[in-house]
Structure 1
Amino acid sequence: MAEADPGGAAGTPVPEVTVSDAADLDARLRAATAPFVVRGLVKDWPLVVAGRRSAREARAYIAAHARPVPFAVSVGTSESDGRLFYDDAMGMNFRMMQAKLPAIFAKIDAFEGQAGAPPIYLGSVDLHDFFTGLHEANHVDLGQRMALASIWIGTRTRIAAHNDLPANLACVAAGRRRFTLFPREQFRNLYLGPVDNTPAGRAISMVDFHAPDFAAYPRFATALAHAQVAELAAGDALYIPPMWWHHVEGLDAFNVLINYWWRDAPSWLGQPQDALNHALLAIRDLPADQKAHWRDMFDHYVFGNDEAVVAHIPEAARSVLAPLTPQSAGRLRAFLLRQLSK
């Protein structure tokens, strides 16, 4: 097994840009086809200011805005070196628990400074559902985007490379984070795990970025040749385009990130991952000649989708073959649910 630098996988630096105001950021986000870093984008957030004083002050600031409800928290093992991943039996190497935020922070306080402390991680916590006033005091102006705002809180952690359907603006509010990013097409070289048994709903790379086994995963060397790396301090932000793969490390004893997800496509469209899962169920194990036919059908109706597909059908009768609307998408969704329930 070849050992990598324990500081993380190699890669070229993500390009950095400066933005003058919300309109400038909006323009850059609209034009972007690759990741970029904005240093100091959120440096004036009250949470960032509190975190610069100390990790405990950051926790106190967050706790003061938390609603008195249970939070889902992942607790790993001291042997995991912060890596939240599978165990040897392809279960998870962490436990999911629920507790109110002050109790979770009390555990982080108790473990602070201890060697081998288990990783504690709260992932993708909705800012509006679980906090009062935190978003209002600490947010990025994203114009007309209907963005989902989430907070990620944890000790030193390593989150395996995965991708997300929406665009993502990730803002470090406390601690430091390292992102290792890969273009969409590198998925074959990242050796993805199961699509249904996952740590957090998305297929992840099976490669340990701190100790990659190039004998077991030889194409990972090709992925690394296309990798981009960004190390962010509190106040910095990173834009991750839709479907780009990213491995995320919390580098300090306490780390906080607030991110924004949004889709440029209408919210009433379905989830492509659901279509892939259904294709695994319905198409993948067909005889080869039938699979070839369905590949042609997908090319014709989905990936080609030009005027020739529907030119012979009266315009008023094209139904879901016409550009989808909220109404026709709703009918199609209801039809699919009826079919899947049979």
Structure 2
Amino acid sequence: MTELPAPAPIPEIEAPVTREAFEDIRSATRPVILRGLVGSWPAVEAARRSDEAICQYLIDRSASRPVDAIAAPPRAGGRFFYTDDLRSLNFVKASGPLPAFLGDLLKAKTIDAPPAMAVQSESVEALAPPFARENVLALLPDVAPRIWIGNRIRVAPHYDAKENVACCVAGRRRFTLFPPQRTADLYPGPFELTPAGTPVSMVDLAEPDLEEFPRFADAWSEAEVATLEPGDAIYIPYGWWHSVESLEPVSILVNYWWAPGKPDGVGSPYDALLHAMLAFKHLPADQRAVWREMLDYYVFERSGDPAAHLPGQAKGILGPPNPELFAQMRGLIRRALGTAG
């Protein structure tokens, strides 16, 4: 293992943040820390009083529905990841009432080497409706919030096909971010079994092994890091890799995912990536080169609108996006798959 230099800090601005300022941040497609953005939330005020106070705040507002939770043994060091042979994940899943989970979370504070525990990506509106009403992010009034609760845990670098504002409610959280162009240098893991939905980096940020993952040093040269206190938030642009480390025995985060500009009915880019690997990855190099040109022309439009020379009635699936066009395209794909296997 080789020691790496400290990464650059993520740029910061202080709240309040106007809608205009937020749109400027988004248009720059760079991460930004929004200090104090949700500092006036009642939940944050409860968290500042004590761990017990924020847990009771959640219990008093929780619905009766069960929550899904995961737990990893103490030997995992808080890292939700794979077993050594990569055949399975190193944590188990269970379901139960939120008050019971929060009680176990507080009990774990008294243990020298507790298991890693987390409730991840639960709908706030379904889990605790009063919490959703009392703690509102004015910048994103139409985006449904999700909540993450746990102790000292580490989530491997991964990416989301969404923009993200993550708000720290209780405990400190350290975020380490990498731009999408560093994907190859982060050594993504398997598609078939993932701890976080999309493939995660195989590099342990706490102890990066540069003999096994030498290009990670290049990724680290563009890493940005920040630690959020309760009341702070972070804006993560679409597709940026991010690692999240919870630094306290009770840690709560509320985040907002959205994909602006995504037309109704459009297909999943992630699903298309899988289909592209099926169709292109194992072709001979000269054939892949041809299809790269086709994708650049038709999909990424590096030569401009591929249908600009066609009259409106002849554009077909190259025409302007709308639900009917997407339905037509799905029909073409279904027929192609039905004949091609």
Equivalent of residue 52 in structure 2, options 56, 59, 68: 56
- The equivalent of 1:152 in structure 2 is 148
- The equivalent of 2:42 in structure 1 is 46
1:146-295 alignment runs, 5 A limit: 146-268=142-264, 269-295=266-292
Larger mean Cα displacement after TM superposition, 33-42 or 20-29: 20-29
Aligned AA (1:133)? P
- Tell whether the 8 Å contact from 1:77 to 1:118 is kept in structure 2 after alignment: yes
- The equivalent of 1:28 in structure 2 is 24
Larger mean Cα displacement after TM superposition, 205-214 or 133-142: 133-142
Q: TM-score, normalised by structure 1?
A: 0.92
Deviations 1:201-249 (A, max 9, x none): 1111101111111100111111111111110100011111111111100
In structure 2, C-alpha distance between the alignment counterparts of 1:340 and 1:125, rounded to whole Å: 35
In structure 2, C-alpha distance between the alignment counterparts of 1:50 and 1:249, rounded to whole Å: 22
TM-superposed CA distance for 1:119, in Å, is: 0.5
TM-superposed CA distance for 1:129, in Å, is: 2.4
Q: TM-score, normalised by structure 2?
A: 0.93
TM-superposed CA distance for 1:337, in Å, is: 4.4
Equivalent of residue 69 in structure 1, options 65, 68, 71: 65
Larger mean Cα displacement after TM superposition, 266-275 or 111-120: 266-275
In structure 2, C-alpha distance between the alignment counterparts of 1:81 and 1:133, rounded to whole Å: 34
SS of alignment partner, residue 113 of structure 1: coil
In structure 1, C-alpha distance between the alignment counterparts of 2:202 and 2:124, rounded to whole Å: 30
Aligned AA (2:150)? G
SS of alignment partner, residue 181 of structure 2: helix
- Tell whether the 8 Å contact from 2:178 to 2:222 is kept in structure 1 after alignment: yes
Equivalent of residue 96 in structure 1, options 88, 93, 108: 93
Aligned AA (1:326)? P
TM-superposed CA distance for 1:286, in Å, is: 1.9
SS of alignment partner, residue 304 of structure 1: coil
1:303-322 alignment runs, 5 A limit: 303-304=300-301, 309-322=306-319
In structure 1, C-alpha distance between the alignment counterparts of 2:33 and 2:304, rounded to whole Å: 40
In structure 2, C-alpha distance between the alignment counterparts of 1:223 and 1:21, rounded to whole Å: 30
In structure 2, C-alpha distance between the alignment counterparts of 1:266 and 1:253, rounded to whole Å: 38
- Tell whether the 8 Å contact from 1:22 to 1:143 is kept in structure 2 after alignment: no
TM-superposed CA distance for 1:335, in Å, is: 3.8
SS of alignment partner, residue 290 of structure 1: helix
In structure 2, C-alpha distance between the alignment counterparts of 1:300 and 1:169, rounded to whole Å: 33
TM-superposed CA distance for 1:293, in Å, is: 1.9
The 3 A distance-change label for structure 1 pair 308 and 250 is closer
Aligned AA (1:154)? G
TM-superposed CA distance for 1:178, in Å, is: 0.1
In structure 1, C-alpha distance between the alignment counterparts of 2:140 and 2:251, rounded to whole Å: 27
TM-superposed CA distance for 1:328, in Å, is: 1.0
TM-superposed CA distance for 1:270, in Å, is: 1.9
SS of alignment partner, residue 31 of structure 1: helix
Q: Percent identity?
A: 39
Q: Residue 129 in 1 paired to residue 126 in 2?
A: yes
- Tell whether the 8 Å contact from 2:16 to 2:37 is kept in structure 1 after alignment: no
Q: What RMSD, in angstroms, separates the aligned Cα atoms of the two structures?
A: 1.9
Segments of structure 2 that go 5 or more residues without pairing to the other structure are none
Segments of structure 1 that go 5 or more residues without pairing to the other structure are none
Q: Residue 296 in 1 paired to residue 293 in 2?
A: yes
TM-superposed CA distance for 1:24, in Å, is: 4.3
TM-superposed CA distance for 1:329, in Å, is: 1.6
SS of alignment partner, residue 129 of structure 2: coil
In structure 1, C-alpha distance between the alignment counterparts of 2:308 and 2:211, rounded to whole Å: 53
- The equivalent of 1:141 in structure 2 is 138
Deviations 1:289-311 (A, max 9, x none): 32222212111211126556224
In structure 2, C-alpha distance between the alignment counterparts of 1:255 and 1:197, rounded to whole Å: 26
